[in-house]
Structure 1
Amino acid sequence: MSRIDPKPLSAYPWFIRWFLGRQRRVYGAVLAPSWLWGRLPGTFLGMLVLLSMFQRRSYPVDTALRSLVSIRIAQLNGCGFCVDLNAHNFLKARGEESKAKDVAQWRDSELFSARERAALGWAEAVTLTCADIESDAIDRLRNEFSEDEITALTAWIGFQNMSAKFNAALGAEEHGFCALPGKGHQQDV
């Protein structure tokens, strides 16, 4: 249960009510984070615009890799909703259940490519020790990513950290998107 209850639907501005209604039609319910973000209509609208920019086909980091990185960020931040949603997005993009289940053990698993390992390592560094990242970390990323891709990946990681921390802090519950066994809060580092 979220730590902050939704306001009555009529208390949200019309454009937020429209968005919540659309979620209800698409997912069968309003997703818990939307009730929370809806309390800040302008911020929520800005976040949705930013999310739409990340989801463009021309974005330098593809959907499957963004979803994989997002699962790991969600695990590290303890956001069950985000693990649920991003595992669903990864399975939809790639259909690789074994990889989705093994994200917390990416260092020891042979399922991950060098590019995925670089992205997951960078996601962990930015999430856990951002102020202590060594300058050669970018040089290691350059083996797999262009500078534009590194910038795009870092922007995505920052966005996902904001979202996961917000949802975890306010207790946004899972929706049940993904029936992956053991998708809970794996925080192995």
Structure 2
Amino acid sequence: MSYIDTPDSYPYRWYLRPLLFLLRRKSGVLSAAVRLWGRVPLAFLGFLWMLRALERRASPLDAKLRALIRTRISQIEVCPFCIDLNGSRALELGVAEEKLFALAEFAASPLYDEAEKAALAFAEAITTTGRRVDEELMVRLKRHYSDDAIVELAALVAHQNLSAKFNTALGVEA
């Protein structure tokens, strides 16, 4: 259970209510994460705007790769809600279950190509406390991705870290 309960009757800001109505209509309920984010409406809108920008069809990063990166960060941050959400998204996008289940061992897995391994290693280096992106990793990335794609990859990793840390800090469950 979340550490902070936000009931459906919470008095959300007037300008947030139409969005929450649409989100509720889409899935039938508002997740605990959405209800918590709704308490800080401008931050929530910024979070959603960045999500839309990063998950656009025209992204230089493949949707499956984005879902795998988000799931791996969720694993590292031990965010059950995020693992479920992003893992489900990966499966919806056509990522094979076998590949998803091998995600924690991607570096040694033949299921991942070198471009995916480089992107996931970059995500781990950013996410893991005490680790840094080094020149060797950047060289690996540049073999497969443009500079713009690498910048977007860093933004994706930062966004998912924000989401996972927010949900974990507030005890949002799967």
TM-score calculated relative to the size of structure 1: 0.86
Partner of 2:143: 143
Distance in 1 (CA, whole Å) between partners of 2:123 and 2:70 is 8
For 1:78 and 1:95, how far apart are their aligned partners in 2? Answer: 21
- The aligned counterpart of 1:122 is 122
Q: Shift of residue 81 of structure 1?
A: 0.7
Q: Does 1:154 align with 2:120?
A: no
- The 3 A distance-change label for structure 1 pair 131 and 112 is closer
Name the SS of the counterpart of 1:149 in structure 2. helix
* Matched-pair identity in %: 41
**1:110 Cα deviation from its structure 2 partner:** 1.2
User: Could you tell me how far apart the structure 1 residues matched to 2:18 and 2:78 are?
Assistant: 30
Q: Deviations over 1:17-63 (max 9, x none)?
A: 32222222222211111011101011101111111111211112121
Within 2, Cα distance between the matches of 1:79 and 1:137? 26
Q: How does 1:1-189 map to 2 (within 5 A)?
A: 1-7=1-7, 9-129=9-129, 132-174=132-174
- Contact map agreement 1:9 1:17 (CA 8 A) in 2: no
Q: Which runs of 5+ in 2 are unaligned?
A: none
CA RMSD of aligned residues (A): 1.6
Structure 1 residue ranges without an equivalent (≥5)? 175-189
Q: What is the aligned length?
A: 174
Residue 90 of structure 2 aligns with an amino acid whose one-letter code is F
Q: Structure 1 residue runs of 4+, over 6 Å off?
A: none
